[in-house]
Protein backbone atom coordinates (compact mmCIF):
# COMPACT_ATOMS: atom_id res chain seq x y z
CA UNK A 1 0.00 0.00 0.00
CA UNK A 2 2.19 2.85 -1.30
CA UNK A 3 -0.12 5.83 -0.60
CA UNK A 4 1.54 9.08 -1.69
CA UNK A 5 5.00 8.76 -3.23
CA UNK A 6 7.34 11.69 -3.79
CA UNK A 7 10.57 11.73 -5.74
CA UNK A 8 13.32 12.69 -5.33
CA UNK A 9 13.83 12.68 -1.56
CA UNK A 10 16.73 15.14 -1.70
CA UNK A 11 18.01 17.55 -4.32
CA UNK A 12 20.48 20.38 -4.57
CA UNK A 13 19.98 22.93 -7.34
CA UNK A 14 21.94 25.92 -8.51
CA UNK A 15 20.25 29.29 -8.77
CA UNK A 16 18.40 29.58 -12.07
CA UNK A 17 18.09 25.85 -12.69
CA UNK A 18 14.73 24.18 -13.13
CA UNK A 19 13.36 20.90 -11.91
CA UNK A 20 10.18 18.92 -11.42
CA UNK A 21 9.15 17.37 -8.13
CA UNK A 22 7.15 14.24 -8.75
CA UNK A 23 4.12 13.12 -6.78
CA UNK A 24 1.91 10.12 -7.39
CA UNK A 25 -0.84 8.51 -5.36
CA UNK A 26 -2.52 5.13 -5.71
CA UNK A 27 -5.64 5.78 -3.61
CA UNK A 28 -7.76 7.17 -6.46
CA UNK A 29 -8.07 10.49 -4.62
CA UNK A 30 -9.49 13.40 -6.58
CA UNK A 31 -7.87 16.12 -4.49
CA UNK A 32 -4.12 16.69 -4.43
CA UNK A 33 -2.01 19.41 -2.83
CA UNK A 34 1.50 20.80 -2.72
CA UNK A 35 2.86 22.42 0.44
CA UNK A 36 6.18 23.84 1.46
CA UNK A 37 7.50 23.71 5.00
CA UNK A 38 10.24 26.09 6.02
CA UNK A 39 12.38 25.30 9.10
CA UNK A 40 10.38 25.61 12.31
CA UNK A 41 7.31 26.73 10.44
CA UNK A 42 3.97 25.27 9.49
CA UNK A 43 2.77 24.30 6.05
CA UNK A 44 2.02 26.75 3.30
CA UNK A 45 -0.18 25.69 0.40
CA UNK A 46 1.41 26.24 -3.02
CA UNK A 47 -1.13 24.73 -5.43
CA UNK A 48 -3.97 22.27 -5.29
CA UNK A 49 -6.09 20.26 -7.68
CA UNK A 50 -9.64 18.99 -7.33
CA UNK A 51 -9.37 16.59 -10.26
CA UNK A 52 -7.58 15.82 -13.50
CA UNK A 53 -7.25 18.95 -15.61
CA UNK A 54 -8.16 21.32 -12.77
CA UNK A 55 -5.62 23.23 -10.70
CA UNK A 56 -5.73 26.34 -8.55
CA UNK A 57 -3.34 28.59 -6.65
CA UNK A 58 -2.78 28.37 -2.95
CA UNK A 59 -1.18 30.83 -0.59
CA UNK A 60 2.34 30.93 -2.12
CA UNK A 61 2.19 30.01 -5.85
CA UNK A 62 4.80 32.42 -7.22
CA UNK A 63 7.77 30.67 -8.82
CA UNK A 64 5.94 27.37 -9.21
CA UNK A 65 3.74 25.64 -11.77
CA UNK A 66 1.68 22.48 -11.67
CA UNK A 67 -0.25 20.22 -13.99
CA UNK A 68 -2.73 17.42 -13.43
CA UNK A 69 -3.12 15.27 -16.51
CA UNK A 70 -4.10 12.11 -14.60
CA UNK A 71 -5.79 11.37 -11.29
CA UNK A 72 -2.61 9.75 -9.97
CA UNK A 73 0.06 12.34 -10.75
CA UNK A 74 0.54 15.94 -9.66
CA UNK A 75 4.04 17.22 -10.50
CA UNK A 76 5.36 20.55 -9.22
CA UNK A 77 7.65 22.55 -11.49
CA UNK A 78 10.26 25.12 -10.43
CA UNK A 79 11.30 27.11 -13.49
CA UNK A 80 14.03 29.44 -12.19
CA UNK A 81 15.22 28.22 -8.83
CA UNK A 82 15.91 30.90 -6.22
CA UNK A 83 17.43 30.58 -2.72
CA UNK A 84 14.03 31.51 -1.22
CA UNK A 85 12.70 28.22 -2.57
CA UNK A 86 14.96 26.20 -0.30
CA UNK A 87 12.45 24.21 1.71
CA UNK A 88 10.88 20.83 2.29
CA UNK A 89 8.06 20.13 -0.13
CA UNK A 90 5.15 17.86 0.73
CA UNK A 91 2.55 16.43 -1.56
CA UNK A 92 -0.78 15.30 -0.14
CA UNK A 93 -4.02 13.80 -1.40
CA UNK A 94 -7.54 13.36 -0.13
CA UNK A 95 -10.96 12.14 -1.17
CA UNK A 96 -12.11 15.74 -1.00
CA UNK A 97 -15.19 14.92 1.03
CA UNK A 98 -16.06 16.62 4.28
CA UNK A 99 -14.17 15.18 7.21
CA UNK A 100 -11.72 13.20 5.11
CA UNK A 101 -8.06 13.60 6.06
CA UNK A 102 -5.17 14.46 3.81
CA UNK A 103 -2.53 11.78 3.26
CA UNK A 104 1.05 12.99 2.97
CA UNK A 105 4.16 11.83 1.19
CA UNK A 106 7.52 11.76 2.94
CA UNK A 107 8.67 15.02 1.38
CA UNK A 108 11.37 16.33 -0.92
CA UNK A 109 14.20 18.27 0.71
CA UNK A 110 15.35 20.91 -1.76
CA UNK A 111 18.33 23.23 -1.39
CA UNK A 112 19.03 26.06 -3.81
CA UNK A 113 22.65 27.25 -3.74
Partner 1 sequence: GDSVTQMEGPVTLSEEAFLTINCTYTATGYPSLFWYVQYPGEGLQLLLKATKADDKGSNKGFEATYRKETTSFHLEKGSVQVSDSAVYFCALSESNTGNQFYFGTGTSLTVIP
**Residue 24 · residue 34 · CB < 8 Å:** no
Question: Smallest gap, in angstroms, from Cβ of residue 50 to partner 1?
Answer: 6
* Nearest residue (CB) to partner 1, 17 versus 30: 30
* Nearest residue (CB) to partner 1, 84 versus 100: 100
**Residue 46 · residue 58 · CB < 8 Å:** yes
Rounded Cα–Cα distance for residues 97 and 40 (Å): 30
**In this structure, what is the dihedral angle of CA atoms 91, 106, 79, 50, given to the nearest 10 degrees?**
-10
State the residues that interact with partner 1 by CB under 8 A: 4, 31, 33, 41-43, 45, 48, 50, 56, 58, 90, 92, 94, 96-107
Question: Smallest gap, in angstroms, from Cβ of residue 16 to partner 1?
Answer: 28
Question: Smallest gap, in angstroms, from Cβ of residue 4 to partner 1?
Answer: 8
Amino acid sequence: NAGVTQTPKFRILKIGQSMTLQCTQDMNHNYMYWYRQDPGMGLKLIYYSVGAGITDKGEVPNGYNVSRSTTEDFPLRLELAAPSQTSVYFCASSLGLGGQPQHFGDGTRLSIL
